[in-house]
Structure 1
Amino acid sequence: MLEPNGPLPPEIYWRRRALAIGVVVVALAIVIWLVTMVARGGDSGGTEAAAEVTSSTTTTAAESSTSVSETSSATSSAESSSSAAATTSDTEEPAAVPCSDQSLALKVTVNQPTYRVGDQPGFGTVITNISSAPCSRDLGPGPQFLVYTLDGQRRLWASNDCNPPGPPEMKTLAAGEQLSYKGTWFGTTSQPECAGERLPVPAGAYMVVAELGAIRSAAEPFNLAD
């Protein structure tokens, strides 16, 4: 370092130099401190910004996931509804129309070919929908059974003569479906509205038929023996 020159004593010049150097050191320290603070402030701001971006990205991803899930659920629901509608449409049967006389057939049966006088012969009948589509009919009273002499000339008994008709009961029969009914004859005569005296029917050959409105079955023979 150069020796100080001047009219003043050397100590004065050394003090001035020391003071100047001290001011420079303090100024440098302040500058370094400011730079450090600015640098720290920038790092902190960057971290917060990064956190906000991450948070925003996470939220957006969650919202996107929820939206996709709801869309998937709605699509699934719509597909299920469409599938159910298609299944219902595929399995839905056409509406039943009234059964015409031509769409039904009656068959009568006798439980056994021969009964003794005083027995109670049992009969059965089957109604069949012989059409190719379902149909409906009031079968509340059901078919009636009628007993005739074997030649069909004399009507002896009918199941509805002394029995009041039952309440209406609509039945729907699918194509080819059958309904069965049973009846019992007490072995006596009868007349419409249960008029007149009921008399025992003697031994002999007879036949039974079933009727449903205008529909009539083929006759089935049977015997009463002593």
Structure 2
Amino acid sequence: MSTVLHPVGPEPEETYWARRVAVIIALVVVAGLVVALVVNATRSGSAVSAEPVPPAVTAPPADSPSPSPSASTSASASPSPSASASASASAEASPSSKPSASASAKPKATPSPKPTPTGPVACPAEDLRATLTGKQRLKPGQKTTFTLSLINGSATTCVVSVTPKTFELKIYSGTDRIWSSDDCAAAVKPRKATVKAEDALEWTMGWGGDRSRAGCKSRPEVPRPGTYFATAQLDGAKPVQLRMILGG
């Protein structure tokens, strides 16, 4: 007891007491830490135990055995006959549906060839020969009538037509333009006829012995005595002339 209260050693007594106090403090700290750990563990354990415990899994009853893996595998692997039949039927139907879709599409309309005309066609202008006849001696200002014709020079029957746009009758004296049917469209009456080979379409036209101008009007100057030429011209055909002399 005396050694406990009065430590014996080579060092001073205060040194031993300081060491004892340090040891005691260390023990108190360790004890406090241990108590704190125990308290925390106790709290966490009570919290865990407070949560609901999941129910135990019970095994199925012995009298209703679960299907074996082999049975389920074989059932899923082999389809029923009706399923395979419907699958094969749909597989056979799908390729046949494409041709029916293309077959139902409307074909492109092919233009029908133009029918070949069965009747006579227009005579080629180069196969027509024009004729022009009339009085060749006239007095200045004298009216006259010309007889004209277009002869079908082809070997077949064809249609001859005359219009103010395709035919002109004109009268010149040298380079002096005296009269022309182009100045008055009414001077040429449209006409058309089916003409056999070497037959002709004939008609007449008049000249009043005056000078013409556009708009179906006459000029006041009277043609003077001299030589004049009447020319009949069909587009595409060779022209024909009639020589006339106007005397005093």
Instruction: Report the TM-score when normalising by structure 2.
Output: 0.46
More helix per residue: 1 or 2? 1
